Structure 1
Amino acid sequence: MNRRTPAATPLALLLALALLGAGCTGGVEGTPGAAGLRDPYFPGLGNGGYDVTHYSLKLDIGPSADDKRRPADEKRPADGTSSPSAQPSDRPADRLRGTATITARATQDLSAFHLDLAGLDVESATVEGRPAAVNRAGKELIIRPGSAVEDRLRKGRTFTTVVRYSGSPQTITDPDGSKEGWLRTADGAVALGEPTGSMAWFPGNHHPSDKATYDIEVTVPDPLTAVSNGELISRRTEDGRTTYHWRTAEPMASYLATLAVGRFSTHQSATPDGIRLFTAVDPESEAASEEVLDGIPAVLAWSAEKFGPYPFTSAGAIVERTGDAEYALETQNRPVFPGPPDTALLVHELAHQWFGNSVTPKSWRDMWLNEGFATYAEWLWAADHDDVPVEESFDEAYEDGANWAFPPAGPPSAADISEAPVYGRGAMVVHRLRLAIDDDEAFFDLVRGWTETHRHGNASTDDFTAYVEEETGEDLTELWDDWLYGESRPPVED
């Protein structure tokens, strides 16, 4: 909903080419996978030559070495709470030791390939159980397997890479100035990844077009809790440390992966139709969040009527204390909120489970498909529950000059992909489409068909406009030109 990092630098690409040139001896026949996928806003993000199918992450999280040597009563006030003014080295989630097992399918004959990783020290890497050469070029981790595994890196073959790494994860500043990656909190940390922050805590192919399933095992010191995506498979405690195993069985883009470590009040239940619910709330936010979070089943049921069956087997929320993050984020299954949410924000983030999480953009230029539909969900909820007609919400957005800074399908830079036009004018596009169809039953059938057609996949703006015109049989060029791509504010009928 609000994040991004700079693309790989030319120097990094030159170094990669130098390391991976055809003249290298002892390597696999083939060519290196590309160091980036040429995203319109983050051209160095992601990697070519392979498609990840599964991540298995084993993470051990704790304080810095200096912090471990300090008596506990020197770090914590007498009331037992964490000090909000504590420096990063004083916090219990400052260091990470990880093993990432990445299963992928080669999409070309590979001699080498890249992983995105910001900071952190790589200790070793293997491909198919054999040691592999590892080099760094900025945020690019370059893996060069030995010739003994060359058959496993042929196009169409599946191969497994294991990377062992450690260090103090970075907080990343986006082009718009917001923070993502590893955000240290007073009692732990929260990892937020839109659009590039997940590279701060695990290596991978960090572009939304490459979705995968996940197993995330996290070991933390008691009494901390580790909360991630999907379903909690197991929890085991030994010698004062607890390991939480989370599994995401449906494909997930890496920017939607999250990890929250801290002191949480947790609650597990299920909706009447069997969706498993897990909420984790910072005690400081618990009382103010209770009523809104109790409404999750009702919001999911209402959303399913509008948008189609809920696309996942689990849902819930992570609520941090106010100030631990700058924004809410639609992390898959379990959105993160920076303090107690109101119902409108809950509706918005849960709508993202359909728009953004299940139907994921092919590139960051397609961000309006996420935010426009989630904002329109807020308008629909207000109409159904607060007696605010959708037309009133549309008129308010139409009069807001911030929504006309640029067209929603064409933000001018990476710093703009989470700005007002992507949200407000994106929602106006959806409403103008509804008016053009002039049949509510047909409109919602169209929306439900869209989420079904691209369920657990990726889709672009072109995919959406083509789908709409094919399903309606209408030429909607004028609507797209005026509302989706137009630079000026189009007139509306009185």
Structure 2
Amino acid sequence: MNRFVLLLLLVGFQASAQHFTRKDSLRGSLRTERTCFDVQRYDLNLRIDPGQRSIVGYNDISFKVIENTRRIQIDLFANMSVDSIVFGTQKLAYHREFDAVFIDFDHSLEKNTLQKIRFYYSGKPIVAARAPWDGGFVFSDDDGKPWIGVAVQGIGASLWYPVKDTQTDEPDQGASIKVAVPNGLMNVSNGRFLGSEDLNDGYTRWDWEVKNPINTYDITVNIADYVHLHDQHNGLDLDYYVLRRNEQKAKAHFEEVKPMMDCFQSKFGPYPFANDGYKLVETPYLGMEHQSAVAYGNRFLKGYMGNDLSGTGVGLLFDFITIHESGHEWFGNSITSADVADMWIHEGFTCYSESVFLECNFGKEKAYTYINGLKRNVDNDKPIIGQYGVCNEGSGDMYYKGALMLHTIRHIINDDQKWWKLILDFSNTFKHQIIVHQTVVDFFNAQTGLDLTPVFDQYLRHKNIPTFEWRIKSKKLEYRWVADVSNFDMPVDVIVNGKTVRLKPTTQWQRSAIKVRKKADVAVAVDRFFVNTAH
């Protein structure tokens, strides 16, 4: 994490902490106990008891010391027990405050040294009432056999394992996830399968290895009596783990992955976790973008559980969960926002990837129909960017409004070749990086030669979208923007007398040389620009 990212997060925290609790700031902000070390690797070794709905085990946390320190913060939900924390052969002292565990060393850890602690813990993790929206474990049933999953985006990975629970620090050298489950069940986690071992006590341990940096909320377990299906596409391993009764259905349904990979790799660059492989894992909840082990629970239906989010019919041409959650492999998993306040970077780009898939496979017209249909889901309730430093996401409009903002920027640029190069360059430039909002704005401005800052600010920092206001005066078209951003300016296309004209409105009234007889002769290209109109 660079100093610019740290400065932004600290400034955001100072500006907004008065609206939140101490618990929020412990989870969301960056203090010395967090910034003094950089996680290199997590090695989880757990036993999960489905009957008791409990976990027992440990996490080996390897880290590099960034600044001399005698104390670090690791996070674990307060309902989970800290059994002991071991450094070498020594048990360490610690104290807890809400979900934060402050660990004390008896001597200073020196800058640039590599260290490791083993954090033993146990307990019954929170069970989600409505995963993946509220977060937690899901304990379900498959013909009398346990079927278990976990989804913790937003609520935090520390719900179920000890971790530095912030998006600013991914384990640089990846992770291993070793999970013992009752015989007859399988656990599927992120990365590559290393093998299983019968522990001769009624449990079998399943070992997985992740080579790439990974968001902590992406680390996952999936427990069931799974069937494994293997395929390959252009050298990329495709693995599917589904319930036995769905084996044949899955073989046909998941063929959609191949054209998706072709499309996304052409537009966003190579699949970012090829050495960890790509997996879809059937889950008892709808879905989640768990890196290299995407959670799939859409019941092998097209659309969003058989429904079309756009209301146009086009959304039934693809499986929403497969496409959307896989899009996160590029946007969210590879490119990650440093603070959840900037989650639009994950969700806006990924929601846009749905229309990208449609354009690749069904043409631009259907893609445009779909993305414009998503307007009906925009609430304009509050800003998309949340409060920094307190683990606060902004409006759920980060999905649809975020995608429609990108659609609008595409038409501001008004050159598809330049647009697709911009998106490809963005994805490749920031691959496997943690970024902030300003990183995106600066990159888009530099690559396009345009000042898109007012556009990003209006759509992301304010709840309203801009309104293109126009009138006919003395048979001439007059127009302006009504927006929250002072001196807002953005080009827009208007169809006048059947011809498309590009206007460059500001917040001041302007008069064009275009002669207009009546209002019916004027139409704003709202299929290309997500704006309100008034006349």
Q: Which TM-score band (shorter chain)?
A: 0.7 to 0.9
Q: Distance in 2 between matches of 1:159 and 1:8?
A: 33
Structure 2 residue 437 is matched with structure 1 residue 450: no
Instruction: Return the letter of the residue paired with 1:351.
Output: G
Report the equivalent of 2:117. Answer: 161
1:339–1:435: structure 2 CA closer, same or farther, 3 Å change rule?
A: closer
User: Aligned match of 2:439 in 463, 475, 479?
Assistant: 463
Instruction: Return the letter of the residue paired with 2:110.
Output: R
Q: Distance in 2 between matches of 1:348 and 1:478?
A: 28
Which secondary structure state, in structure 2, belongs to the residue aligned with residue 488 of structure 1? coil
After superposition, the C-alpha distances for 1:271-324 in whole angstroms (9 at most, x for unaligned) are 222x2222111235545544332322321121100111110021011112xxx3
1:8–1:397: structure 2 CA closer, same or farther, 3 Å change rule?
A: closer
Structure 2 residue 131 is matched with structure 1 residue 193: no
Report the equivalent of 2:90. Answer: 130
Report the equivalent of 2:368. Answer: 391
1:345–1:418: structure 2 CA closer, same or farther, 3 Å change rule?
A: farther
Report the equivalent of 2:340. Answer: 364
User: Aligned match of 2:80 in 106, 109, 120?
Assistant: 120
Q: Which moved more, 1:333-342 or 1:206-215?
A: 333-342
Q: For the Cα contact (< 8 Å) 1:172–1:197, is it kept in 2?
A: no
1:409–1:288: structure 2 CA closer, same or farther, 3 Å change rule?
A: farther
Q: Distance in 2 between matches of 1:300 and 1:48?
A: 37
Unaligned runs of 5+ residues in structure 2 are 1-18, 303-318, 469-491, 493-523, 526-535
Report the equivalent of 1:19. Answer: none
Shift of 1:164: 1.1
Report the equivalent of 2:464. Answer: 488
Report the equivalent of 2:216. Answer: 254
1:448–1:8: structure 2 CA closer, same or farther, 3 Å change rule?
A: same
User: Aligned match of 1:345 in 314, 321, 333?
Assistant: 321
Report the equivalent of 2:314. Answer: none
Report the equivalent of 2:279. Answer: 316
Which secondary structure state, in structure 1, belongs to the residue aligned with residue 163 of structure 2? coil
Shift of 1:205: 0.5
Select the structure with the greater relative contact order (CA < 8 A; seq sep ≥ 6): 1
Q: Distance in 2 between matches of 1:145 and 1:415?
A: 28
After superposition, the C-alpha distances for 1:333-364 in whole angstroms (9 at most, x for unaligned) are 12112342532321111111000000011111
Aligned structure 1 segments of 4 or more residues deviating by more than 6 angstroms: 411-416
Which secondary structure state, in structure 1, belongs to the residue aligned with residue 34 of structure 2? coil
Instruction: Return the letter of the residue paired with 2:425.
Output: G
1:412–1:59: structure 2 CA closer, same or farther, 3 Å change rule?
A: closer
Instruction: Return the letter of the residue paired with 2:437.
Output: T
Report the equivalent of 1:179. Answer: 134
Instruction: Return the letter of the residue paired with 2:47.
Output: D
Shift of 1:418: 7.7
Instruction: Return the letter of the residue paired with 1:408.
Output: I
Q: For the Cα contact (< 8 Å) 1:296–1:316, is it kept in 2?
A: no
Unaligned runs of 5+ residues in structure 1 are 1-6, 14-33, 65-88
1:159–1:238: structure 2 CA closer, same or farther, 3 Å change rule?
A: closer
Structure 2 residue 183 is matched with structure 1 residue 225: no
Q: Distance in 2 between matches of 1:61 and 1:487?
A: 44
1:36–1:348: structure 2 CA closer, same or farther, 3 Å change rule?
A: closer
Instruction: Return the letter of the residue paired with 2:125.
Output: P
Q: For the Cα contact (< 8 Å) 2:132–2:287, is it kept in 1?
A: no
Q: Percent identity?
A: 22
Q: Distance in 2 between matches of 1:335 and 1:464?
A: 25
Q: Which moved more, 1:338-347 or 1:261-270?
A: 338-347
Q: Which moved more, 1:242-251 or 1:285-294?
A: 285-294
Q: For the Cα contact (< 8 Å) 2:339–2:391, is it kept in 1?
A: no
Which secondary structure state, in structure 2, belongs to the residue aligned with residue 470 of structure 1? helix
After superposition, residues 295-444 of structure 1 pair within 5 angstroms as: 295-313=256-274, 314-320=277-283, 324-325=284-285, 327-341=286-300, 342=302, 343-387=319-363, 388-398=365-375, 400=376, 402-410=378-386, 417=393, 420-444=396-420
Q: For the Cα contact (< 8 Å) 2:324–2:354, is it kept in 1?
A: yes
Q: Distance in 2 between matches of 1:470 and 1:178?
A: 36
After superposition, the C-alpha distances for 1:59-100 in whole angstroms (9 at most, x for unaligned) are 112245xxxxxxxxxxxxxxxxxxxxxxxx4xxxx1211111
Report the equivalent of 1:99. Answer: 58
1:215–1:412: structure 2 CA closer, same or farther, 3 Å change rule?
A: closer
Instruction: Return the letter of the residue paired with 1:38.
Output: S
